[in-house]
Amino acid sequence: MVTFDPAHKAVHDPGDRRFRVWIRPSILVGSGAVIFSFVAAAWIQFVFFGLPRIPPVPQVYPNNFVGPHGFPLWVRWSHFFNFFFVMLLIRSGLSILFDHPRLYFNDDCTPGTEWLRATPIKVPRDRIWTAKDDARYLTPVVGTPGYRHTIGVARVWHFINVHGFIITGVFFISMLFSTEQWKRIVPTSPLVVTQAWNTWVHYATFHMPAEPNGFYGYNALQQIAYFAVIFVFGPLAILTGIAMSPAVVNRFPWYAKLFGGRQSARSIHFLTMLSFLAFLVVHVTLVVMTGFARNMNHIVLGTDTQGHLGIWLGFCGIAVVVLSWVAAHWLSWRYPRRLQHALKVVTYPMQLLTLNRLVPQQKYSEKDISPYFWPNGKMPIREDWKRMAENGFRDFRLKVDGLVEHPVELSLAELEELGAAEHITMHHCIQGWSGIAKWGGLPMKSLIKLVRPRPEAHTVAFYSFGEALYGGPYYDTQSLENVLKDQCLLASQMNGKRLEQLYGAPLRLRVENQLGYKMVKWIERIEFVESEKLLGKGEGGKNEDDEYFDLLPNI
């Protein structure tokens, strides 16, 4: 495990480690009713009509067997790497989930409307309770990297491994359809559904059906299960992951609506993970029950024999996967910066060519505005900010300088005279919550037109009156290209009213193709610079410097 200094221990290893999973009763009752109905239908059929007939398993003559069979090397290695990547995705995904341990089927994320809550705490109403406060501790035995507020490194592992998961899947499916192996997995007759139900009746009533030799074929229920894992769960996990991208959703709002909304996509993403785990448990159980040695030889050695070598090599493969979790934990705390840079190497060029080119074009209506908007960040404690807050920020002056031809200092009234725009947009927090609000303020392109950046200015830095998680002034940066996009505002209003202190007064940034931590609140000044590498630790912002967040979080 890890030894923390006092500052990091207070964040990552809090005294309150209570754990509780609460699920909305209606969800539990509904899910239970569906499962009960399938089991009950199987028992009714068994009691009143007897066990349904399952076609007898034909005798297999290996020397004369016609049709696809066996497990070629590409199947066996794909099986291993899929297990390897899925387990790391689940572990890192759990660390991401616990930074906002609530799941919803609505996009406003109002406390009390969640259907699942992995925390014993109900949001208190008698004090400010931010999304950062709501994050929970997760043991590193279960999650990578675990602990609390480690979402930056968790995202590194998640996005690096999703590349491996996708590459493995594309390779497997390509090989599947370039050989006859697809016939083993893809149902080609509606009779498969009937036969699968008959097999289910046997299992549900505790009567083991005649088990075919998996080296040559599967029963109908197995075939449907494998088909669902490969062609339903896998693609659904990828598609719902994309539906949580601010760049995609804020350019194509209809896409998230295919899944019921951004938060519904997040919930489906989680349920897909549970489906993978459920399949894994049932799959391993049946492998053990129906001939462990022979089944292990099938998938490890590619032979239909009864020896024990496949078991021992299989256990070695599992040990490699478990050791990868230990290695990921060690790397997470020893070399987090290198991991951050590795993710940047893998994803940054592709994002610049794809997601970052999408121009936000959201068109939400007044009725879509969220009744609740999670506050976040550490409120400023500086005396100058408090004094300005007392008189409604009439004394505030926004300083804009750096590599500009016309540096300025502007009051809120002067900023409003330069121009105004309003947009109703969806906010996407890196922690997982979202909310829709109407933002009003000065388009950044109008300010840029006024100050006239020099040719060497490629980056815009926004400095906050507030502090970062580990202390020190909060700041973040944007490329000049991104702040010139439509809907990028210096917001001074929220939902038709003057911006509240809790949400970033006097000014906050809105840049709708990225996650919320890039939208600096309580802005004090703006500086145009050549590169983000010249500021702080050179990573592009305070969260990027200290918590290893992404420089360009389009997803």
Once rounded to an integer, what is the mean pLDDT over residues 57-78?
A: 83
- The CB density around residue 396, as the number of other CB atoms within 10 Å, is 24
Once rounded to an integer, what is the mean pLDDT over residues 155-159?
A: 98
CA dihedral 313, 316, 321, 327 (to 10 degrees): -150
pLDDT at 62 over 80: no
Cα Rg, the chain, nearest whole Å: 27
Q: Which backbone phi and psi does 538 adopt, to 5 degrees?
A: 85, 10
Task: For domain 361-547, give the CATH number.
Answer: 3.90.420.10
Determine the Cα angle at 38 with ends 33 and 40, to 5°.
Answer: 85
Name the token pair of 367: 């009725």
- What pLDDT shows up at residue 362? 86
Continuous H helices in 391-436 = 412-418
CA 451 to chain centre: 38
- What pLDDT shows up at residue 363? 84
Share of the chain above pLDDT 90, in %: 93
Q: Give CA–CA dist 282/288, Å, rounded.
A: 10
Once rounded to an integer, what is the mean pLDDT over residues 79-83?
A: 97
Cis peptide before 360 (omega within 30 of 0): no
525, containing H or E segment: strand 523-529
Determine the Cα angle at 277 with ends 179 and 335, to 5°.
Answer: 95
- What pLDDT shows up at residue 331? 97
pLDDT at 120 over 90: yes
Of 477, 385, 433, the residue nearest 133 (C-alpha): 433
pLDDT at 58 over 70: no
pLDDT at 471 over 70: yes
Strands of 316-420 (E only): list them.
Answer: 398-402, 408-410
Once rounded to an integer, what is the mean pLDDT over residues 20-24?
A: 97
According to DSSP, residue 4 is labeled: P
pLDDT at 63 over 90: no
Q: Which backbone phi and psi does 335 adopt, to 5 degrees?
A: -135, 55
Name the token pair of 131: 């999304």
pLDDT band at 61 (very low <50, low <70, confident <90, very high): low
Q: What is the pLDDT of residues 43-54, one digit of tens each?
A: 999 999 999 998
Once rounded to an integer, what is the mean pLDDT over residues 302-309?
A: 95
pLDDT band at 3 (very low <50, low <70, confident <90, very high): confident
Name the token pair of 103: 């799941």
CA dihedral 340, 344, 346, 352 (to 10 degrees): 160
Q: How many CA atoms, within 13 angstroms, populate the side-chain half-sphere of residue 281?
A: 5
Please say whether the beta carbons of 92 and 154 come within 8 A. Answer: yes
Q: Give CA–CA dist 124/264, Å, rounded.
A: 25
106 versus 60: the higher-pLDDT residue is 106
Name the token pair of 399: 């300083």
pLDDT band at 66 (very low <50, low <70, confident <90, very high): confident
Q: Give CA–CA dist 167/391, Å, rounded.
A: 57
Q: Give CA–CA dist 242/16, Å, rounded.
A: 33
Indicate the burial class of 5 (C-beta count within 10 angstroms; 0-12, 13-18, 19 or more).
exposed
Identity of residue 474: Y
pLDDT band at 394 (very low <50, low <70, confident <90, very high): very high
Q: What is the pLDDT of residues 515-535, one digit of tens each?
A: 999 999 999 999 999 999 999
- 3-state percent breakdown (helix, strand, coil) of the chain, nearest 5: 50, 15, 40
Angle at which helices 309-334 and 336-353 cross, to 10°: 90
Place of tokens 């509780």: 20
pLDDT at 42 over 80: yes
- What pLDDT shows up at residue 59? 65
Q: What is the pLDDT of residues 438-470, one digit of tens each?
A: 999 999 999 999 999 999 999 999 999 999 999
Please say whether the beta carbons of 402 and 529 come within 8 A. Answer: yes
pLDDT band at 210 (very low <50, low <70, confident <90, very high): confident
Q: How many CA atoms, within 13 angstroms, populate the side-chain half-sphere of residue 215?
A: 21
CA 211 to chain centre: 39
pLDDT band at 211 (very low <50, low <70, confident <90, very high): confident
- What pLDDT shows up at residue 212? 87
- What pLDDT shows up at residue 2? 83
489: which strand partners?
443, 510
What is the three-class DSSP state of 324? helix
Phi/psi-derived region of residue 448, left when phi > 0, alpha when psi is between -120 and 50, beta in every other case: alpha
pLDDT at 278 over 90: yes
Q: Give CA–CA dist 464/379, Å, rounded.
A: 10
Of 173, 519, 238, 545, the residue nearest 376 (C-alpha): 519
